[in-house]
Structure 1
Amino acid sequence: MFNSILTLIRGRAYDAEQAFMDRHAVPLLAQQIRDAADAIQSARRAVAIAIAQNEQEKSRHAVIVGRIADLETRAVAALQKGSDELAREAAEVIAQLEAERDASEKAQAQFTRTIGKLKATVRASEARLQELQRGERLARATEQTQKLSEACDDNSGLATLDEAEETLARLRAYQDRCEITASAMKEMDAANRPGIVIEKLASAGFGAPLGPSADDVLARLRERMNSAA
């Protein structure tokens, strides 16, 4: 039973760890990429140092080869003049220089192999880093898109748009009803006013006119004119 509990605890701890990794995958990826970029930069520096050391070794090798050639020329001259002892001293130095020359050549060969491997590693690592950086940009864009999608799907946020549209529709319907009601009330008020009804009847020729007409005014002016004559 105790072992089962421990196993369950480890299982839940693993699930929690994986859930944590999933939630923070993007910033974790970004930090890992920065660490990888730093490591690649260190590898570049290592390549540069190896190249510089190899160039120094080449210069040293050239000096050694030059000294050997010079001593050989002088040793031959000593032998030609019978100075065997001096020639022997020169030969001993030449032997030492040749050992140093051989060691320098081995060092150069090792540097060349190491530099080649380091350059290949750096090139491959740079390609992988660029791919990771492109992947990180895509992951960030996807994360932002998902956040926007979640915001659009969140009823507590954008769902108020539906409510606002319904409110606007009710408001417009209410305003239309108010306008229709006001117009109908005006018509009913007009129909219920006696003066307005009498005016309509008089205008239609039913009953005495409510005021003088143009014909009445002309008739009155003619009558005044005839009386004056």
Structure 2
Amino acid sequence: MLKLFRILARGAAARAEEEFLDRNALLILDQQVRETRASLERSRRALAAAVAADQAEGRKLSDIENRAIDLETRTVAALSAGREDLAREAAQAIAELESERDAIRQARSRYEAEVARIRTVVAEATRRQTELERGRRTAAAAEAVRRMRVNPGPNELATLTEAEATLKRLRDLQQEAADTEAALADIQPGADIAARMEREGFGPSSKTTADAVLDRLRRRAEAA
């Protein structure tokens, strides 16, 4: 029995952990995205530092090669002048420069291969990070819709309901005002018969017509 209780306890703990992960999956994803973004940024900075160091080694190699060439020219001149002592001393310096040059060339060759490998890794990580962040945005939108459908928050539901009720009240008020105006027009004393008699030509017109304007202007012209 004790063994059975232990199994049940582990099962309950596993289920509780799964439910916790499900409820907080988006929060966990957000933190993981932040951590991978920070890791990728550190990788980029490390790559930039490696490239800068390699460029510095390249400048150093160029300086050594130029110094060796200059010494060779001077050594030839010293030999032509019979200064064997200076030529030997210069030759020793040239040998040391060439040894350092060869060592730097070998180191740079290995370094360039490693930098190329790191570039490939960082480029792939950048692509995956971009996809991850795009997926996170989509997941956040989908999760918001899922929660609204499955378990909408009381505040969100109340806000939507209140907005719909307000819209209905406004429409009802507007319709009521329109109905009232129409009813008032219908119950004005003599309004309907006066309009009918005006249309029949009995009495002055309540609307200004082109003929009336023309008659008024013609009388003004005759008076002038």
Does 1:134 find its partner at 2:126? Answer: no
User: 2 CA distance for matches of 1:122 and 1:41?
Assistant: 9
Q: 1:141 to 1:88 in 2, by over 3 A?
A: same
User: 1 CA distance for matches of 2:37 and 2:16?
Assistant: 29
Deviates most, 128-137 or 56-65 = 128-137
Cα displacement (A) at 1:9: 3.7
User: 2 CA distance for matches of 1:22 and 1:36?
Assistant: 21
User: 1 CA distance for matches of 2:93 and 2:3?
Assistant: 76
Q: 1:107 to 1:8 in 2, by over 3 A?
A: farther
Q: In structure 2, what is the equivalent of residue 182 of structure 1? A: none
User: 2 CA distance for matches of 1:100 and 1:7?
Assistant: 69
Cα displacement (A) at 1:21: 1.3
Q: In structure 2, what is the equivalent of residue 147 of structure 1? A: 147
Q: 1:87 to 1:148 in 2, by over 3 A?
A: same
Q: Does the aligned pair in 2 maintain the 1:51–1:111 contact within 8 Å?
A: no
Q: In structure 2, what is the equivalent of residue 64 of structure 1? A: 64
User: 2 CA distance for matches of 1:122 and 1:22?
Assistant: 31
Does 1:21 find its partner at 2:7? Answer: no
Cα displacement (A) at 1:45: 0.7
1:51-73 C-alpha deviation (Å, 9 max, x unpaired): 11111111100100001101111
Any residues of structure 2 matched to 1:32-71 within 5 Å, and which?
32-71=32-71
User: 1 CA distance for matches of 2:92 and 2:69?
Assistant: 14
Cα displacement (A) at 1:80: 2.3
Paired amino acid for 1:109: S
TM-score, length-scaled by structure 1: 0.61
User: 1 CA distance for matches of 2:36 and 2:70?
Assistant: 51
User: 2 CA distance for matches of 1:109 and 1:2?
Assistant: 66
Q: Does the aligned pair in 2 maintain the 1:57–1:107 contact within 8 Å?
A: no
Q: In structure 2, what is the equivalent of residue 198 of structure 1? A: none
Which 5+ residue runs of structure 2 have no aligned equivalent? 162-224
Q: In structure 2, what is the equivalent of residue 106 of structure 1? A: 106
Paired amino acid for 1:78: A
Q: 1:4 to 1:84 in 2, by over 3 A?
A: farther
1:17-50 C-alpha deviation (Å, 9 max, x unpaired): 2221111110100110111111111111111111
Deviates most, 2-11 or 62-71 = 2-11
Cα displacement (A) at 1:133: 1.1
- What is the DSSP-based 3-state SS (H/G/I as helix, E as strand, rest coil) of the residue aligned with 1:82? coil
Any residues of structure 2 matched to 1:67-216 within 5 Å, and which?
67-151=67-151
Cα displacement (A) at 1:5: 4.9
1:116-136 C-alpha deviation (Å, 9 max, x unpaired): 122211211111111111111
Q: Does the aligned pair in 2 maintain the 1:57–1:108 contact within 8 Å?
A: yes
Cα displacement (A) at 1:84: 2.1
User: 2 CA distance for matches of 1:148 and 1:95?
Assistant: 78
Query: Percent of aligned positions with the same letter in both sequences?
Result: 38
